[in-house]
Structure 1
Amino acid sequence: MTTADVSVRVAWSQDAAGIAAVQLRSWQQRYDEVAPGALAELGTDDALRVASWEQYLTRPPEARYRALVALERVRIVGFALTGPATDPDADPATDGELAEFTVEPGRTRQGHGSRLLQAAVDTLAADGFTRVVSWIDSTDDAARAFLESAGWAPDGASRELSDESGAGSVKQVRLHTAIG
């Protein structure tokens, strides 16, 4: 019997290229039609995108901002960003945020998301947060069902994000859960 070599760990600066690649593929799938300007915001220069991730990973805004990566052997197949919630109605001392939660297209439904979500929640709890929020696209039924199956629920907040070009927008809803 063989078992898959899969894990989740804190991201290192050397993971920048892998994270950037997963983000690009995911955003291409999510936003190509609805918000083409969102892809432009990622930039066309791979080196610049990787450098931006290297900077974030080596110098996050504060100690409670974390990046986690889901691995299949040594290949990054997903990532999550955690930190204090930044919404105006949030208490940054107790409210954490799952700011980005991405599993590479084609690698979903293989357990990577579950492991990554559990590690993100554990990290937020270790940082003293007791509630976590996450913004998801209102049309992303799979992400919503995944989070709701893990005990998350909508809290009534919504927002609309427009890309820089003004050509597209994405409506999002906020989900939350208690942790700790």
Structure 2
Amino acid sequence: MVHVREMDRADIEAVSTIRVRGWQAAYVGMLPQTYLDAMTVEGDAVRRRRFFSQPRRQSRDLVAIGDHGPVGWICFGPCRSEISVPGQAGEVYAVYVSPDLTGQGIGRKLLRAAHAQMKGQGFEASALWVLSDNQRARRFYERAGYQADGASQDDSYGEITLTELRYQRVL
């Protein structure tokens, strides 16, 4: 049984493990292997501690807790770009589940909790960015009611540039 709660500082190492292992599993064949291999839990945890300590950060972090601690993580906050839905919009910045537990509903549970909190903060819509080549993630978001809205941006990962697509949905 998995439940969702606010992330706290004690969760940082586990969240960094989930995020790094999630990248290394999800982006094989999309990102250079050297880029994925260079990712470390320790380096991610240092950045996450710094980010988590910012006094005026507007993002929120939730964790999915299983029998032995965090098994998923979602980060969300105000939308960083204009979207076509009127009203205030939130944005899902990241969502990751332990690679060995994907497909078990943990990501859906995290997304539902984030949507509920965004709605409670007065957001009327949610947006997110997803790599265009990441078909599995795109299907996941589409099943959750998101639709590509035509916006795209390029991101560089080492020697490769990949396109991200923006998705949005009404909350």
User: TM-score, normalization: structure 1?
Assistant: 0.83
1:47 aligned partner, one-letter code: E
User: Matched residue of 1:162: which SS?
Assistant: strand
Residue in structure 2 matching 1:57, options 52, 62, 72:
52
Q: How far did residue 139 of structure 1 move?
A: 1.7
Alpha-carbon distance in structure 2 between the residues aligned to 1:6 and 1:56: 26
Residue in structure 2 matching 1:8, options 4, 8, 25:
4
Query: Where in structure 1 are there 5+ consecutive unaligned residues?
Result: none
- Aligned twin of 1:168: 160
Identity %: 29
Contact 1:80–1:120 (CA under 8 A) maintained in structure 2: yes
Is 1:19 equivalent to 2:11 in the alignment? no
Please give the root-mean-square deviation of Cα atoms over the aligned residues, in Å: 2.2
Superposed, 1:13-52 pairs within 5 Å as 13-36=9-32, 38-39=35-36, 42=39, 44=40, 46-52=41-47
1:50 aligned partner, one-letter code: A
Mark the CA change 1:134 to 1:16 in structure 2 (over 3 Å): closer, same or farther: same
Query: Where in structure 2 are there 5+ consecutive unaligned residues?
Result: none
Deviations 1:57-83 (A, max 9, x none): 333643x41011112123221111101
Is 1:144 equivalent to 2:147 in the alignment? no
Aligned length: 168
1:9 aligned partner, one-letter code: R
Superposed, 1:89-104 pairs within 5 Å as 89-90=82-83, 94-104=88-98
Q: How far did residue 114 of structure 1 move?
A: 1.3
Contact 1:7–1:71 (CA under 8 A) maintained in structure 2: yes
User: TM-score, normalization: structure 2?
Assistant: 0.87
2:76 aligned partner, one-letter code: T
Deviations 1:81-120 (A, max 9, x none): 1011112x359x7111001011121211111011101001
Contact 1:137–1:172 (CA under 8 A) maintained in structure 2: yes
Deviations 1:22-70 (A, max 9, x none): 111111123344323654784x4x43422322232333643x4101111
Mark the CA change 1:41 to 1:158 in structure 2 (over 3 Å): closer, same or farther: farther
2:169 aligned partner, one-letter code: T
Alpha-carbon distance in structure 1 between the residues aligned to 2:55 and 2:76: 11
- Aligned twin of 1:116: 110
Mark the CA change 1:120 to 1:153 in structure 2 (over 3 Å): closer, same or farther: same
Alpha-carbon distance in structure 2 between the residues aligned to 1:60 and 1:158: 31
Is 1:155 equivalent to 2:149 in the alignment? yes
Mark the CA change 1:141 to 1:48 in structure 2 (over 3 Å): closer, same or farther: closer
Q: Which runs of 4+ in 1 moved over 2 A?
A: 30-42, 46-49, 54-62
